[in-house]
Every structure is written in C-alpha cells, then in structure tokens.
Amino acid sequence: MQDTSSGHTVAVVGGAGYIGSHTAMKLAEAGRKTVVVDNLSTGHREAARFGEFVEADITDTAALHDIFTRFRVDAVFHFAASAYVGESVAEPGKYYQNNVAGSLSLLDAMRSAGVRRMVFSSTCSLYGETGDDLLREDHAVNPMNPYARTKLCIEWAMRDYAQAYGLNGICLRYFNAAGAAPDASLGEHHEPETHLIPLVLQAALDPTRVIRMFGTDYPTPDGTCIRDYIHVCDLADAHILALQRLETGLPGGVFNLGNGKGHSVREVVDCTRAVTGRPITVVEQPRRAGDPPKLVGSAQKARAELGWRPIFSDLRDIIETAWRWEQKLDLLRRHPG
C-alpha cells in the first residue's frame, strides 16, 4: 500500500491503458508517487501496477474528488478517453458522454480538490486533412470525426478553466503511438486492435491473417498513406517533462509529439517483414473515407520548450520493441496458465 499521508501524488487517469500504463511506469522509475485511476472498460488490470490502483469512472465526480484529496494529488495525467474513430462515427453519443462530459467531471473534481495541473492526451487528428509537409501547433484545426472533435472540446475546456479557475494545463497532440517497453514488460493490447503496427505483427505471427492496405493511389512516393510513428516510451517521457514544466510555474499550452518524419503503409509492412523474417500477406483495397495522404508533425516546440528528445526515432527500433511484446502476448494467449 502506498503511503498517502505525506508528499504529493500524480494521478494517472486512464493509467491501465496503453500510453497511460507506460507513463505510470516512467513516473515510478522517476521516483514519483502515483495513483492509477481506471474503470477497466478497455484497460488491463495487470498493466495498472505502478503505484496504487483505484477502480473508478471518470464521470464519477465525487469518487474522483475523494481520490484526489485522499492521495494528496497535485497533478493529473488525463488518458481516459474512448479512442476508436469508426466507433465514434457510429456512436457519437458515447464519445461525447465519456470524452467531453467525463473530462468536465474530471476538471470539476480537480477544481474542488484544489488540483491545478493537468497534462492531457490529445491527438494530431485535430488537424484533419492538410497539404502541409510538417504540421505545427499553429496550424488550423479541422477535426473530421466525433473522436477528434471531442478532443478539441477538451482542449477548449482546459483553456477556459485556466482563465476562470487558474488551471495550468498542457495538451500533448500525439501522432501515431507505437512500440512497447524494450524489455517487453508492457505493450499495446487493444480489443479490437486497429493500429497498423500490431496488426502487421499479428499477421506475421499468424499466416492466416491478411493486412488490408486501404488506398494505393495517394499522391505519395509509393501510393500509400504516410504517418509519423512515435514510440510509446518517448511519449511517456514527454508527459514527465510537461509536468516538470508546469511544476516550475511556466505556462502550459499545446505541443505536438512526433518524430518529424513519415513512413508509408508499405514501408511499415516491408520493415516488419525484415524485423520478423516472416511473410506477411497484403490485400490492396480502395481508400477509406477521411484518410489524409500524409500526417507528419513538427515537434520543434516540444524540443525547444520541454527539452524533449525522442530516443526511439528509427522505425525499425520501434517495430523491434513491438515485435518482442507481440510474441510474448501471443504466447500468453496460447498458454494462458
């Protein structure tokens, strides 16, 4: 049991999920007290092992207030959001209820408990379709689906709460999170899985699976979409640097987190074949609506103002860590005992 009688604690809300659990691990490695708060609707209890764990829902303002006061929380990392784009289109009510109403509940619990610092897990999908080579924070936002629109609503709410109530917050707009802890102790585990790299790795493990390549006629060098992949541990490091910025009293704001270089779908598949040494079957299909040809972010601001430097900037390094994790996960699926 973690001592809650003295000192201050970081609440990792949504800390049983992919990026949240890696961030909680990094906080523990840095010697920070943590409390992980998650309703386990999509997260995994075994991933919430860094610090105290409390099962609670983000929409339960009273429960959050109790947690923040009991553990003497002085900062919140907010990862608790529904995050499937397709589902958000089919069920927008769920997304506005959980992501927007839930975040307002969280902000109100922070306000009543006197918690003034928050680092928010936002998304590059706020930018929508764009022809820019490198997206910067001052680029116009044009979210194209309910998921992205709910994230923008939260960014706006944080800005308004800062002006009215003194909240100091940082919004981190991720590009494509990928990879796993280098020792395979943590990794990506979604049900269902929708992200490209784990899907390609699962196809390498199971020859009956195929990779559907949506769109081969984009205006890119090989005709497939280009995305900016950023290692999950580098994202976690950025959260800690963002918190340190807030703790020194510097203003918050918005920061992109990306490697500043893109890789196409074909490149990801080819690199995965090279890493795994296994065949991967690809089926080419028409474009999906709303998939922009290229999304690559400039992280110059995060480098300059947070002192952030990605360690796993090479695609092969990212895939190698994810491959070790997928092999471990596959073994656990086949031999659960």
Residues classed as catalytic: 147
What is the token pair recorded at 40? 């386990």
Neighbours of 283 (CB within 10 A): 9
Are 170 and 251 within 8 A, CB to CB? Answer: no
Are 223 and 282 within 8 A, CB to CB? Answer: no
Tell me the Cα Rg of the chain: 19
- Distances in Å between the Cα of 247 and the Cα atoms of 21, 112, 115, 242, 288 are 22, 20, 12, 9, 43
Strands (E), the chain: 9-13, 34-38, 52-55, 73-78, 117-123, 168-174, 176-178, 210-214, 226-227, 229-231, 253-257, 263-264, 281-285, 294-295
Phi-psi region at 280: left, alpha or beta (left = phi > 0; alpha = psi -120 to 50): beta
What is the token pair recorded at 114? 């006197």
- Beta-bridge mates of residue 11: 35, 76
Nearest-angstrom CA–CA distance, 141 and 46: 36
What is the token pair recorded at 37? 């708060």
Nearest-angstrom CA–CA distance, 274 and 12: 36
Nearest-angstrom CA–CA distance, 57 and 256: 28
**290 Cβ partners below 8 Å, 6+ apart?**
129, 144, 145
Strands (E), 194-316: 210-214, 226-227, 229-231, 253-257, 263-264, 281-285, 294-295
The answer, yes or no, to whether the previous bond of 92 is cis (omega within 30 of 0) is no
